[in-house]
Amino acid sequence: MRVLVTGGAGFIGSHVVEALRAHGHEPVVFDIRTDPTADVRSPGAVRDALSGVDAVCHQAAMVGLGTGFADAPEYVSRNDLGTAVLLAAMAQAGVERLVLAGSMVVYGEGRYTCARHGVVRPGPRTVTDLAAGRFEPACPVCGTDLEPGLVAEDAPVDPRNVYATTKLAQEHLAAAWARSTGGSAVSLRYHNVYGPGMPRDTPYAGVASFFRSALARGEAPRVFEDGGQRRDFVHVRDVAAANVAALTAGPAAGALTAYNTGSGTPHTVGEMARALAVAYGGPEPVVTGEYRLGDVRHITADSSRLRAELGWKPEVGFADGVREFAAAGLRGD
Ligand SMILES: NC(=O)c1ccc[n+]([C@@H]2O[C@H](COP(=O)([O-])OP(=O)(O)OC[C@H]3O[C@@H](n4cnc5c(N)ncnc54)[C@H](O)[C@@H]3O)[C@@H](O)[C@H]2O)c1
Ligand SMILES: [Zn+2]
């Protein structure tokens, strides 16, 4: 199968390209990083790139939390305008299969239960609470502590920042494309992806990259809040394998199907920092109590649908993955 991989020169995209090749497919990289004319917002460039293509694996995006609201137009342009241009060109060219790099950020805060009120949905945390070190969201009804759980794909969406909003809009656009063309779309909602080739720390990078970059400078990783934020860290090779599985499965035509893509084993951000520091042989992490507005407290995946329907399962365990990541270089080093 000939697969156009947008963002194919990026962190996850380059692993997808490798995995496709290993399975005997023919990946075609389309990435502005390696070719300034390969912009998903450019109808002509996308049309040319789609020639002879059977499926599109859409990884290209502007990622991370950014530097502030001033980044909003660029996020919307790259992520949503880019997706719309790509889908329009696919409709024109008759390419009927799309796998989208989705994200767990569409859910907002994860799933919580209150002992008295059952499943509840706490709103964004207030500056007052965060500044006072009250990091755990409370029950919106009675104010007591909540128990975090695993989010499934039918959890309500609640994007909490510009990036999250654009990732959700990508899914809505892909669903509209599938309905109107009869094509099939899959959104793999990645959780926190880490592994070799992760970009160095920038405002657009993920937390494991901040820790790994600090260690590379000989500094202690700085852990925000109290380090108790729960995440699902999933290895980039497992994410690449999920893309191959989704590209080669027979998903529903005329609709978008979403799959959580996580390891299934939650870890805290503090645990990631400590494990990386030990594996790297660097200084112990420092827990700073700092916070970023727009971050959620806990978000962990129930990825059983991906396992059941696409026969995927994660192969790289946390300890092995972290050891490898500590030894591997970051992109931009
Ligand atoms: N890294 C994670 O933990 C994570 C989690 C959830 C979702 N995702 C999604 O996975 C995808 C890949 O992310 P990544 O972590 O590999 O980031 P990355 O920045 O390494 O890769 C993105 C690639 O897209 C390219 N790109 C950006 N704008 C483009 C444009 N207009 N035209 C063509 N190419 C363009 C960039 O040059 C880059 O190589 C993104 O869609 C991201 O939203 C990543
Ligand atoms: Zn309650």
Average pLDDT, 10 consecutive residues per value, the chain (333 residues): 98 98 98 97 98 98 87 97 98 98 93 95 92 95 94 93 96 98 98 92 79 95 96 97 94 92 96 97 96 89 95 96 92 69
Catalytic residue among 163, 190, 194, 259: 163
Q: What is the pLDDT of residue 180?
A: 98
* Centre of ligand 1 from the C-alpha of residue 333, in Å: 18
23 close to ligand 1 (CB < 6 Angstrom): no
**Residue 163 falls in the annotated catalytic set:** yes
How many other CB atoms are found less than 10 A from the CB of residue 305?
Answer: 18
Atom of ligand 1 nearest to the CA of 77: 31
Q: What is the pLDDT of residue 313?
A: 95
171 close to ligand 1 (CB < 6 Angstrom): no
Best residue among 4, 5, 6, 12 to mutate for probing ligand 1's pocket (most ligand atoms within 8 Å of CB) is 12
111 close to ligand 1 (CB < 6 Angstrom): no
Instruction: Tell me which residue of 329, 39, 11 sits closest to 190, measured CA to CA.
Output: 11
Query: Whose Cα sits closest to atom 29 in ligand 1?
Result: 60
Distance from C-alpha of 302 to C-alpha of 279, rounded to nearest angstrom: 28
Report the predicted TM-score, pTM, of the whole model to 2 decimal places: 0.96
Antiparallel, parallel or unpaired: β 267-268 and 230-231 = antiparallel
* Centre of ligand 1 from the C-alpha of residue 62, in Å: 6
At which residue do the structure tokens 């939390």 appear? 65
Query: Whose Cα sits closest to atom 9 in ligand 1?
Result: 101
**Which ligand has an atom closest to residue 235 CA?**
1
**Which ligand has an atom closest to residue 194 CA?**
1
Query: Whose Cα sits closest to atom 38 in ligand 1?
Result: 10
Residue 206 sits at φ, ψ, to 5 deg, of -95, 170
11 close to ligand 1 (CB < 6 Angstrom): yes
166 close to ligand 1 (CB < 6 Angstrom): no
Q: Extract the tokens encoding 93.
A: 């060219």
Q: What is the pLDDT of residue 101?
A: 98
Q: How far apart are the first and last CA of the chain?
A: 34
Atom of ligand 1 nearest to the CA of 63: 43
Query: Whose Cα sits closest to atom 7 in ligand 1?
Result: 103
Distance from C-alpha of 221 to C-alpha of 219, rounded to nearest angstrom: 6
Residue 18 sits at φ, ψ, to 5 deg, of -60, -45
Q: What is the pLDDT of residue 333?
A: 54
Q: What is the pLDDT of residue 61?
A: 97
Query: Whose Cα sits closest to atom 12 in ligand 1?
Result: 59
Atom of ligand 1 nearest to the CA of 163: 43
Task: Report DSSP letters for 2-39, one per residue.
Answer: EEEEETTTSHHHHHHHHHHHHTT-EEEEE-TTT-TT--
Reduce the DSSP state of residue 91 to 3 states and report it. Answer: helix
| Alpha-carbon distances, residue 80 vs 29, 65, 168, 289, 302 (angstroms) | 20, 16, 9, 34, 27
